[in-house]
Chains A and B, each alone.
Chain A
Amino acid sequence: DGGITQSPKYLFRKEGQNVTLSCEQNLNHDAMYWYRQDPGQGLRLIYYSQIVNDFQKGDIAEGYSVSREKKESFPLTVTSAQKNPTAFYLCASSIYPGTGFQETQYFGPGTRLLVL
């Protein structure tokens, strides 16, 4: 059963702490993405990766880091430099390259990060 998994569902961060959010997909998709969702705002792109060992900053990359060592995995680290990390974090993947429709992004269930 193909899909995208994210863990944990809820994550608590203490001041000055780095935390890592997991994202795994078994859809054989090349491209993966991390978004942040805040109330009243659209999804905002943090980082994206088109192929293994390569990734690019999105619109709000400051305070975040990623790695893409395997096609299936794209973990996101929220560092202590991110001053307002409380949000709903969504991971997505898509076929790349392809036609516009083929590049439909499919989302994981999300991780809600809360600051203690």
Chain B
Amino acid sequence: GQNIDQPTEMTATEGAIVQINCTYQTSGFNGLFWYQQHAGEAPTFLSYNVLDGLEEKGRFSSFLSRSKGYSYLLLKELQMKDSASYLCAVMNTGFQKLVFGTGTRLLVSP
């Protein structure tokens, strides 16, 4: 089967650092994606990991451990505009079908 787990909701303060975890169990693995989705809007692509390790992109970083079925998204210097849902998605082998987690709703307060 396929299963992706993320915390439902997290809160943090402006300027702080927050880590959003994602664990997965899938029948095949061809990469892990993180998307940001503001309420009522489309998901926008944040990062892609296929090899173990950390990928850094400005204030956002994403980490992957394939042996542990684990990823996290790290957001630094939080801003109010970072309040959104963050979706973890795993791409299966074969036809590149994305399996999405339920998303983590992040609320950034002043």
Contacts and interface: CB of A to CB of B under 8 A. Distances in A.
Contact of B96 (A35, A43, A96, A108): A96
A48 B40 CA distance: 23
Interface stretch (B11-19, B43-51, B66-74, B75-83): B43-51
Given A101-B50, A103-B96, A43 B42 contact: no
B42 A105 contact: no
B100 A48 contact: no
Contacts of A107: 42-44
Contacts of A103: 91, 96
Interface residues of A, number: 27
A110 interface: yes
Interface of B: 4, 30-31, 33, 40-45, 48, 50, 87, 89, 91, 95-103
Given A43-B100, A94-B96, A101 B48 contact: yes
Contacts of A43: 43, 87, 89, 98, 100
A90 B99 CA distance: 14
B29 to A, nearest CB: 9
A16 interface: no
A104 B100 contact: no
Given A96-B96, A110-B42, A42 B103 contact: yes
Interface in A57-104: 58, 88, 90, 94, 96, 100-101, 103-104
Most A-side CB within 10 Å, residue of B4, B48, B50: B48
